[in-house]
Structure 1
Amino acid sequence: MARAENKETAGPATRLVADMVRMLRKRKGWTQEQLGKAIGYTAAAISALETYAQPPSDAMLVALEKVLGDGMGFFEQARLYVRLDKYPEQFKDYAPLEQKAVGLSLYATLVVHGLFQTEEYARALIGGGYPPLPDERVEELVEARMLRKELFERKPVALIEVILEESVLTRAVGSKEVMREQWAYLAERAKRRNVTLQVLPLEAGLSGEYAGGHGEMTLVETAQHDHLVYLEAQEESLLIKEPAKVSTYAQRYARIRAQALDPRESLGLIERLAGDQR
């Protein structure tokens, strides 16, 4: 269902797509109902798109490209920019860097990192947050988060390291079934050749050292081989570019990695969790 407030807050890409759809539809002499039938949507959905009340889904943009694109590739190219419109404000500067990165090193302390979440886990997490979001906005955010996973299939492939606190694995989100699916998904991703998954065990600090106390982080190697750090907490974000600071975070990440279980042990732990819940 479209939201009236979207008409005021719609991003520039969403507005451009809406205006282009309206122009191309009228050029063909089609009503909103006719266009809707051509792409498998209702006239109300086309109206919501054209009035900025509802941003187009990724699937709608694919359908529009086939029917209205005329070989230009406009709607295909628009998919990335409309996706950016849907992201929370604090995430918009980082999102393009993630999609083009050649390497990511992730450390998650509270919940499973967004790139490794199942759809149901993400829906439970986003839908259960505070302040509560309308169902339509929850679905927008879930779709945008799932589309980030295109990174796993991209050519050339990105190398991704992820370290999860053990508490992330045992914190229940959604339901037991949601968690079973999430553990199975993590195990599947951990077996990919471009992914290294490690778990930082709860007793890591018993040795007298615990490098993860400063919180989660994301280290990014860009396509130009620049190195950046992205931090996010309480709906605020920080993108760090200064080489000296980036170096400190990279060294801290290396210590966290050294204190974590190795990839084989980590996979075994995740598989045991999944097995115990069958």
Structure 2
Amino acid sequence: MARAENKETASPTAKLVADVAKRARLRKKMTQDQLGKLIGFSAAAVSAMETCAQPASDDMLVGLERVLGDSMGIFERARLYMRMEAYPPQFKNYALLEQSAVRLELYAAFVVHGLFQTEAYARALIGGGYPTLSDSRVEELVEARTARRALFGREPTALIELVLEESVLTRGIGSEEIMRDQMRHLAKCAQRRNVTLQVLPLDCGLSGEHAGDRGDINLVETPNHERLLFLEVQDESLLISDPAEVSTRAQRCAKIRSQALGPRESLGLIKRLAGDEE
């Protein structure tokens, strides 16, 4: 009965993956155990995927593409749709835009931007939020969030510019070890050729100006060179295309960058916070 219920409640993508994977496995005359060994999963995990008792994870989809995909790319494509289904409703439209963007201009005032979070930082942040989520939902959201990092190595290359409030770097999330690893990850990201990472110092406002006092900004340039603005506050989101509003936020973002530390100085600060002195 439980399996029948899972089949009914499974997402359309999970059902498609289950059906295609089973048909491809049988066509190749493989048992569930044989397929599992080839993709690094147990026979029970393969069975759970085929009956929709447990949707395929991102790692399983990679394995299925390698073993059963026959160069069609169906399981690779399913990775995107599975991630979309895992995201909260208010984030789904932006997630698609983010992955196809040619340029991102980002400002994060409260926590490390999701695109730059480590798995452990994301788990501590999501698991410690409210309302309380089940362990399985936390893991689903963590996997979906960390999968976004594929954008860093995507071809064609996306230009990513991020400014973080210094308070974000010192606000403890999870544990000291998690924060050290997060700082090291930020430092690694900052050294990518397509990433510019700057820190807005705590004493920014002492100059009489603080352009980032109104919260996070996400500006996206699409492949068609349209500029869009995404705002998310208290689980509510807005996707804005009005040129005047987008322009205002773009100017604000530029002002924030001008008030931030330079990329080299920012990298040095992040390394010091990680305990890795230059």
Question: What is the TM-score normalised by the length of structure 2?
Answer: 0.90
Aligned match of 1:136: 136
Aligned match of 1:50: 50
Instruction: Note the C-alpha offset of 1:243.
Output: 0.8
| Secondary structure in 2 matching 1:72 | coil
Distance 1:125 1:45 in 2: 28
Which stretch of structure 1 is more off in the superposition, 216-225 or 23-32? 23-32
What whole-Å deviation, never above 9, does each CA across 1:122-173 have from its counterpart, x for those lacking one? 1211122222222222222222222211111112211111011111001001
- Given residue 267 of structure 1, which amino acid in structure 2 is its aligned partner? L
Write out aligned runs for 1:170-209 (5 A).
Answer: 170-209=170-209
Aligned match of 1:85: 85
What whole-Å deviation, never above 9, does each CA across 1:2-21 have from its counterpart, x for those lacking one? 99986555332122112222
Contact 2:159 2:195 in 1 (8 A): yes
| Secondary structure in 1 matching 2:232 | strand
Over 3 Å counting, the alpha-carbon distance change for 1:3 and 1:109 in structure 2 is farther
Distance 1:222 1:256 in 2: 22
Aligned match of 1:16: 16
Does 2:166 match 1:166? yes
- Given residue 23 of structure 2, which amino acid in structure 1 is its aligned partner? M
| Secondary structure in 2 matching 1:212 | coil
Does 2:253 match 1:253? yes
Aligned match of 1:153: 153
What whole-Å deviation, never above 9, does each CA across 1:23-70 have from its counterpart, x for those lacking one? 334445555445434433223222321232322112211222233223
| Secondary structure in 2 matching 1:199 | strand
Distance 2:262 2:43 in 1: 54
| Secondary structure in 2 matching 1:239 | strand
Aligned match of 1:104: 104
Contact 2:7 2:15 in 1 (8 A): no
Distance 1:206 1:52 in 2: 57
Contact 2:3 2:52 in 1 (8 A): no
Write out aligned runs for 1:104-123 (5 A).
Answer: 104-123=104-123
Distance 1:34 1:149 in 2: 31
Aligned match of 1:63: 63
- Given residue 19 of structure 1, which amino acid in structure 2 is its aligned partner? D
Distance 1:27 1:69 in 2: 12
| Secondary structure in 2 matching 1:53 | coil
- Given residue 239 of structure 1, which amino acid in structure 2 is its aligned partner? L
- Given residue 246 of structure 1, which amino acid in structure 2 is its aligned partner? V
| Secondary structure in 2 matching 1:183 | helix
Consecutive unaligned residues in structure 2, runs of 5 or more: none
Which stretch of structure 1 is more off in the superposition, 25-34 or 213-222? 25-34
Contact 2:231 2:237 in 1 (8 A): yes
- What is the CA RMSD across the aligned residues, in angstroms? 2.4
Contact 2:163 2:198 in 1 (8 A): yes
Contact 1:3 1:54 in 2 (8 A): no
Count matched residues.
276
Distance 1:78 1:248 in 2: 37
Consecutive unaligned residues in structure 1, runs of 5 or more: none
Contact 1:14 1:56 in 2 (8 A): yes
Instruction: Note the C-alpha offset of 1:223.
Output: 0.9
Contact 1:12 1:85 in 2 (8 A): no
Over 3 Å counting, the alpha-carbon distance change for 1:194 and 1:67 in structure 2 is closer
Distance 1:36 1:156 in 2: 33
Aligned match of 1:222: 222
| Secondary structure in 2 matching 1:213 | coil
Over 3 Å counting, the alpha-carbon distance change for 1:18 and 1:225 in structure 2 is same
